[in-house]
Structure 1
Amino acid sequence: MKEHSKVDIELVERIRQGDSDAWQSLIDRYEGRLLAYTDSRIRNRATSEDIVQEAFVGFLISLPNYDGSRPLESYLFSICAYKLTDHLRREGRRPSVQMHHRSSDGGGGMLEPVGVDRVASSIARSVERKRIEESAITEAISEQIERWKSSNAFAKLKAIELLFVRGMGNKEVAEKTQLSEQQVANYKSDFQIRLRSIIDRMELDEGVFPELANN
């Protein structure tokens, strides 16, 4: 048996037992791959994140029916592909998803709660953390933009807009702005450093932007 399969089996078993740390480990393990998959097809990061989140929730709902005979990665990608197709067909309509599964006692298809309340709670915390992070980033970007506007640093503003809003690469931005690639790289680095400094000043809980902790 491959080592990654052993890890997946252990993760699934811990998730069945309601281990929220295992759920987070599964997200950390597969979120990047699923996002790359959806991004390559719709090229809209926010929508991709929503679809991937729905895929994880879909996996949680289907967990009672997952017997491990199919590789976990393949199973997750099949759910994500379904969510992506559903999104494209519905043009943004999002059906509500309940954290339940069908009763195994054959009682008329009634739904009963999945016994992973702590995992569901973990999802809720992740959503709330995302909202806090989005709010903090919005505030930080607004503050930095106002600083550059007040100092007439419009070349920086144009470069940053092309980089982060239009999603262009350094070389393409340099060509459009008549800056050197090194200047564009410097502006990008400066912007990221300033955003981090502003966010650090907000003194948010350590659970928000964990990647900034202990650095």
Structure 2
Amino acid sequence: MATSETDRLLIDRIRQGDSDAWSDLIARYEGRLLAFVESRIGKRANSEDIVQEAFVGFLNSLPNYDGKRSLETYLFSICAYKMTDYLRREGRRPSVPLSTGSDSGGDWEISSRNRGASSIVRSGEQQHLEEKALVEALTQQVAYWRSRNDWVKIQCVELLFVRGWANKEAATELGISEQHVANYKFEFLSKVRSHVRGQELSEDIFPELYEEQS
């Protein structure tokens, strides 16, 4: 199923740098993704972290997203990858797939007609490369904000991504508007994505972020 017209317009706005569009995307899908993850791992804070990682993954993969799959299916696929990685790190057997059908609420299986086993089972070395790439990107962005004395932005992303707070909670804590929080989140994710892509890593490092060519 292809992307709906509503989602297509939303993606176009995000690509144009519309921070309100990013907020709209999160509002539209965050609850469903969180419910999906939490129902399977049973830990609210960890579930929120996984969903946040899924949104970062979507932002990284946006240049490669062509709309041939529905946005909902695409987001759930990325989220499933992130959840699978979490379960492996926890020493638990993954019970989620690396792809889904058009119905995100349907059955999920550990199989994929589109990807081979080598793209599903990640080595420890590959996970290390992923972590290293993200750490470098995060360090670059935080250092840049520190050089500009953008302490509120740093506090904001810490509350969102480290402590797992919702936009509203972070806004109240920092005494700023939810729109400012959404803008900082969008800026942060955009910059991290740029830093990661600037490292010119092989697509194999983040296989779930690249759509296979038809």
Structure 1 length normalisation: TM-score?
A: 0.48
Structure 2 length normalisation: TM-score?
A: 0.49
| Greater RCO (CA < 8 Å, at least 6 residues apart) | 2
